Amino acid sequence: MEKIKAYFKRIGLEMPETIVPDSALLKKLQFAHCTTVPYENLDIIRGIPLSLDPDDLYEKIVVRGKGGFCFELNGLFGWLLRQLGYEVTDVAARYLRGESTIPMRRHRVLIVRAVDGLWCGDVGIGEVCPRYPLRLEEGLEQTQFDECYRFDKDPFLGWVLMDKYHGEWRRFYSFTEEPQLDVDFIAPTFYCEKHPDSPFFPDEMFSLKTAEGRITLDGHVYKEFRNGEMTVRELSDDELPEAYRRFGLA
């Protein structure tokens, strides 16, 4: 119980006396998580091997206050949800946004059964993405802030998350419902750490959601997205430490 309380504190929430594993709590947890725990690739850049063991993830993210990428963030978030009474299935997803061909499965997503329905939970994306869980229902348009999402079904891809961009629907990512174990994510994690085509190096890649949008740092380029508007700054080497601290990193 103390570990769960510490997790709540890490994401800026007070643990309620009575836990009801419903969508209201899930919504609060996902938003808090993605606005306090950064999406970041610092260990990959520094050559520090990643571990998907829940105890190691807890030590890194909760105890040491670091972030991670999808296999880490959604791995530990799924652990928390299970402790709170949710039924959670980890699935492997294909990240389709910006791709001209169907890519390998290199994203981790959570299917979460709450007492009031089935949801898609995800705290492991650095780009614009849902800050609240999405109901896993085909064709239902779901608006969050100034964003809109829906799920389609495809005979090969399975569930396909769509987002509306400049008035047009585009594919975001897709997944089928086969349950995955932690061991199933070791190979794609290693790909992201070491493969020359991995998008996670050579530069730092930090992102943290906010109530108005998100902040990002790619190399020396710092961006703030607020209510659909973007500001960009090219940082000097001397400014980088302060930028790191905005993401809770050092």
- Exactly one of 43, 90, 122, 182 is catalytic; which is it? 122
Query: Tens of pLDDT along 18-73?
Result: 999 999 999 999 999 999 999 999 999 999 999 999 999 999 999 999 999 999 99
Query: Tens of pLDDT along 159-184?
Result: 999 999 999 999 999 999 999 999 99
Question: Does the pLDDT value for residue 93 go beyond 80?
Answer: yes
Chain-centre distance for alpha carbon 182: 16
**Pairwise CA distance, residues 133 & 250, whole Å:** 30
Question: Does the pLDDT value for residue 250 go beyond 80?
Answer: no
Query: Tens of pLDDT along 96-135?
Result: 998 999 999 999 999 999 999 999 999 999 999 999 999 9
What angle do the packed helices 2-10 and 70-83 form, to 10 degrees?
A: 130
The helix/strand count (H/E) of the chain reads as: 7, 12
Task: Say if CB 142 and CB 135 are below 8 A apart.
Answer: yes
120 tagged catalytic:
no
Split at pLDDT 50, 70, 90, the class of 201 is confident
Q: What is the pLDDT of residue 227?
A: 85
Please, what are the domains in the chain?
Answer: 2-200 (3.30.2140.20)
**Pairwise CA distance, residues 203 & 215, whole Å:** 16
Token couple for 248? 């809770």
Split at pLDDT 50, 70, 90, the class of 249 is confident
Token couple for 60? 């890194």
- Exactly one of 34, 43, 107, 163 is catalytic; which is it? 107
Nearest alpha carbon to residue 189 among 114, 106, 91: 106
Split at pLDDT 50, 70, 90, the class of 242 is very high
Q: What is the pLDDT of residue 1?
A: 84
Q: What is the pLDDT of residue 202?
A: 82
- Give 176 or 1, the one with higher predicted confidence: 176
34 tagged catalytic:
no
What angle do the packed helices 23-34 and 70-83 form, to 10 degrees?
A: 150
- Which residues are CB-contacts of 43 (< 8 A; sequence separation ≥ 6)? 49, 50, 66, 68
What is the value of pTM for the model shown? 0.95
- Exactly one of 33, 34, 43, 70 is catalytic; which is it? 70
Chain-centre distance for alpha carbon 217: 16
Q: Where are the beta strands (DSSP E) in 155-212?
A: 158-165, 168-175, 205-209
What angle do the packed helices 186-194 and 70-83 form, to 10 degrees?
A: 150
Task: Say if CB 162 and CB 169 are below 8 A apart.
Answer: yes
Instruction: Kindly compute the dihedral angle of the four CA atoms of residues 188, 199, 194, 130, in this order, to the nearest 10 degrees.
Output: -40
Which of left, alpha, beta for 125 (phi over 0: left; psi -120 to 50: alpha)? Answer: beta
Q: What is the pLDDT of residue 203?
A: 85
Q: What is the pLDDT of residue 143?
A: 97
SS3 category, 213: strand
70 tagged catalytic:
yes
